[in-house]
Structure 1
């Protein structure tokens, strides 16, 4: 798998130092007031707004792990196992519900990454968090962004994760790779982002959060 910048795209610095500088565009992980800007499925497809308006949202967090490598920075993603009750077989970030025992979104994201893919939290350098992303299933998801050194040791949980893989950050942050597709959902057509990469199909909430990462951190 090539981790280089896709041909024909303007050069973007995805080095550790450049990513640390871009962290100024994120929200801090502790302290301060975070604006309640809720992005989500209902923004991409306004017809979904009734599904989230007035709804009590359940808190969740995911980890956007940016893996640093001399060949290029990449994003860690998982493919969920086919027997899970929800989103079986789909591409996802490590993450899940924020439990009462968690000390906020960062703690939840790191705990879930440890449980799902065996990523030692001590290997993650947190940078910040993005605006919240609301799913049509009623979760308010906090995307936490962190740096990870190349080739971290991973042990996927076979009950939840069928595969762990990396996609070049340069590919995911190129807006020409952000496709708007549509399909029928509950009797109506729904638009959503998709970012097909090689044999992988990244779409839905995961692609929506990646689009949010682009808009909030990398768009000029």
Structure 2
């Protein structure tokens, strides 16, 4: 699949349903309670559509070493999930909000950790050299548009989790093991690209 900003815009205009870490695990009942709002940014570079991702620092308490989109929980000073995603992108990788053109949002994704994550899709305009925040980010890297936005890149694996088997989506690329919520969110975008 070739990079096309217009194709990405058309995909975002198509209807889609919310997703969840529980989608593949019908036997697991999501815990009751209020979900905490969060925002993540799927930022594609205007030149060739490469998607910016991070490898989380190995010393973090939550999800150490995992591949993720820049973003995080909505803090008291954030107006909404978009503000949280843009603030976190600045803090984690040095991406200024005025360099990102937000194209739209995808439906929220419910995580097993109790968050309702709003994925924002944007375009990085101009030159961008990431600066990883060492306390949070071990590495900043990119994946090709053709990999991220092709449903054929994704498959399902399972592992033992809390006394049972848990199935989840993966889309590995070279040394990067893209899985879990990030893979599920991006698969939702890839599915909309087909329409």
- For this structure pair, what is the TM-score category when the shorter chain's length is used for normalisation? over 0.9
Matched, 1:219 2:172: no
Matched, 1:103 2:52: no
State the secondary structure of the residue aligned to 1:19: helix
Q: Which deviations, in whole Å up to 9, do the C-alpha atoms of 1:111-155 show, x marking residues without a partner?
A: 010011110110000000001000111100000000113541321
Q: How many residues are paired up?
A: 195
Which of the residues 16, 26, 30 maps onto 1:51? 30
Q: Which deviations, in whole Å up to 9, do the C-alpha atoms of 1:158-208 show, x marking residues without a partner?
A: 000010000011112222210100000001001100111011110111111
Q: TM-score, normalised by structure 1?
A: 0.83
Distance 1:218 1:151 in 2: 26
Q: List 4+ stretches of structure 1 deviating above 4 A.
A: none
Distance 1:123 1:26 in 2: 27
Distance 1:93 1:138 in 2: 17
RMSD of the alignment, in Å? 1.7
State the secondary structure of the residue aligned to 2:86: helix
State the match for 1:20 in structure 2.
9
User: Which blocks of at least 5 consecutive residues in structure 2 are unaligned?
Assistant: none
Q: TM-score, normalised by structure 2?
A: 0.93
Partners of 1:61 and 1:143 within 8 A in 2 = yes
Distance 1:163 1:85 in 2: 17
Which of the residues 96, 100, 110 maps onto 1:124? 100
Q: Which deviations, in whole Å up to 9, do the C-alpha atoms of 1:40-84 show, x marking residues without a partner?
A: 111122223x234x3211111100001122xx3111100001100
Distance 1:119 1:19 in 2: 20
